[in-house]
Structure 1
């Protein structure tokens, strides 16, 4: 009996070591016991998707729960994807187009979850998380630097490219390699977000936040600017929904974090406990249910000026480290959907 208890204790100790080594204490003790989600259709989540440029993978990290310590084979990485290992993407030359992946969004359409991802090398893709295969992918071209993507209710995919200076709505619903698109010119395009309530596609550029009206058909879409709002300061980077207040958006700029209310066309500055944490935020989002903020910003401690090995949490504050990682963005792996 004593031997069995001793062995069990050793297994738990080893499991803790493995857990902490893999995620560097970043197993994300997040949201456990959170209140029910305020927004209809949302369930609290305890997982986070990160874009790791070191391993060229999108990693979905699970929460640290007691069950995770019961067996040493359990790991915090619950799902991962890379264009390098998707056999269906060989024609798009992932060694080139999947260079410096920079986006990972979870979207649910018709009850099925998809990963939306882009890479500075030119690749944009919609990936079925059940099969792990890209259902649509395109090479946007050298120097375009796609930075974000969005999935629309009709199955089409919007892509924002900072180097290209455009937002494109690809007719992805036509097939896995459809390259037909409508385009709206937007200098420094970094973010794109669908608002199902107003059926507007919001796009973030260097100096403006623009609401685009989608027209035409799924096979031949059009994009028309409905209105454009100047940013309170230059350097627009991330655009994400405020899940606790549907219809509003998080907007990050080079120096600060903002909350935008489209009904009033008003930006309100979001002040964090450490003002330095407001600078150069690459991604931001609130956890469904708890409202806790998750941000990713360069820590200037690694091999690249734009990446980090830490995930920063706010309200309450905390940091989770992933030693050796070169993270660009981190997002809650939510059940937020694009609609039916």
Structure 2
């Protein structure tokens, strides 16, 4: 079970990639309408590398555009946030100090590679999925905060990553398939070895599934949440099947879901879906909560992803 960032054993804080203000936010789950301008106390923690000397070499003014991922991990007794931004930033940030475990800028500072998510491995190295770049990279981040050495594998539309501790594989999701990679080489010179792959469910034959978010199902070990352009599934690793037999599927399984995840203590699920009329077509001001149905609202927001702040242990 993951460790929550908040106090008590109730609903954990909510972790957002907030693109309108270019920040990662940790927000108070007891407040349903977050208005940081009127009530700054609803923001429990915030991160941006812009202007932070610890991240100067990442060219954050250029690379920290459209933060696209934030998820919490425990590694060697410390909590870290893994974060990416579409114009190249990738970082593993200690919580709550903001200290740099590792960070880099992928690509030339534009959206050529589009880092979409990251994952930490038990040896301290860090995997990155680059959607436009069609590749998964495994950086030798354990060597130091500025390390740029990596191994990589091609994956069309790489969007999702999850380290499977039980099976010792890195799951990666692209436009059309879910792939299990073994880790080869060494910690210093890592490599990714494709083990096997399964095609994602498609709504229209001959069309791309549009794989998007990949996240472990906290309430059902051995399953992973999978969101595609058309719907939301749980992939059962044991059977190799994509299922929609989960509680709340009638409300959770819908098109254009950008993120999905459940809290192991409450069973509540969070998702985000774009809404019209905002600064970008993929933004929303609403975090949907399921089981039971409710919602959070961020006044003036441009939310991309939302996750419960519970840190799962990777090493």
Q: TM-score, normalised by structure 2?
A: 0.89
Q: Which has the higher helix share?
A: 1
- 4+ residue stretches of structure 1 with deviation over 3 A? 39-45, 270-275
How far has the Cα of 1:73 moved from its partner?
A: 7.7
Matching of residue 288 in structure 1 with residue 288 in structure 2 = no
CA contact (8 A) 2:127 2:137 kept: yes
Instruction: Give the aligned partner of residue 146 of structure 1.
Output: 115
Instruction: Give the aligned partner of residue 299 of structure 2.
Output: 323
How far apart, CA to CA, are the structure 2 residues paired with 1:180 and 1:137? 12
CA contact (8 A) 2:178 2:200 kept: yes
Instruction: Give the aligned partner of residue 200 of structure 2.
Output: 231
Quickly say closer, same or farther: Cα 1:274–1:301, change in 2 above 3 A: farther
Which one of 90, 96, 101 corresponds to residue 135 of structure 1? 101
Which one of 22, 45, 50 corresponds to residue 84 of structure 1? 50
How far apart, CA to CA, are the structure 1 residues paired with 2:290 and 2:2? 24
Q: Which has the higher strand share?
A: 2
Which one of 78, 100, 110 corresponds to residue 76 of structure 2? 110
Which one of 18, 34, 38 corresponds to residue 52 of structure 1? 18
How far apart, CA to CA, are the structure 2 residues paired with 1:303 and 1:272? 30
CA contact (8 A) 1:240 1:250 kept: yes
Where 2:50 maps in the other structure, the secondary structure is helix
Q: TM-score, normalised by structure 1?
A: 0.82
How far apart, CA to CA, are the structure 1 residues paired with 2:49 and 2:134? 24
Q: Deviations over 1:256-301 (max 9, x none)?
A: 00000111110013564447x6111111100121111100110123
Instruction: Give the aligned partner of residue 147 of structure 2.
Output: 178
Instruction: Give the aligned partner of residue 256 of structure 1.
Output: 231
How far apart, CA to CA, are the structure 1 residues paired with 2:17 and 2:40? 21
Q: How many residues align?
A: 294
Instruction: Give the aligned partner of residue 135 of structure 2.
Output: 166
CA contact (8 A) 1:86 1:133 kept: no
How far has the Cα of 1:303 moved from its partner?
A: 1.5
Q: Deviations over 1:186-212 (max 9, x none)?
A: 000001100111111000000000000
Structure 2: state its 5+ residue gaps.
Answer: 32-37, 203-208
How far has the Cα of 1:45 moved from its partner?
A: 4.6
CA contact (8 A) 1:45 1:288 kept: no
For the aligned residue pairs, the C-alpha RMSD in angstroms reads 1.9
How far apart, CA to CA, are the structure 2 residues paired with 1:55 and 1:73? 16
How far has the Cα of 1:240 moved from its partner?
A: 0.2
How far apart, CA to CA, are the structure 2 residues paired with 1:211 and 1:136? 24
Which one of 65, 75, 86 corresponds to residue 120 of structure 1? 86
How far apart, CA to CA, are the structure 2 residues paired with 1:280 and 1:157? 27
Where 1:290 maps in the other structure, the secondary structure is coil
Which one of 156, 159, 166 corresponds to residue 187 of structure 1? 156
CA contact (8 A) 1:44 1:288 kept: no
Structure 1: state its 5+ residue gaps.
Answer: 1-38, 66-71
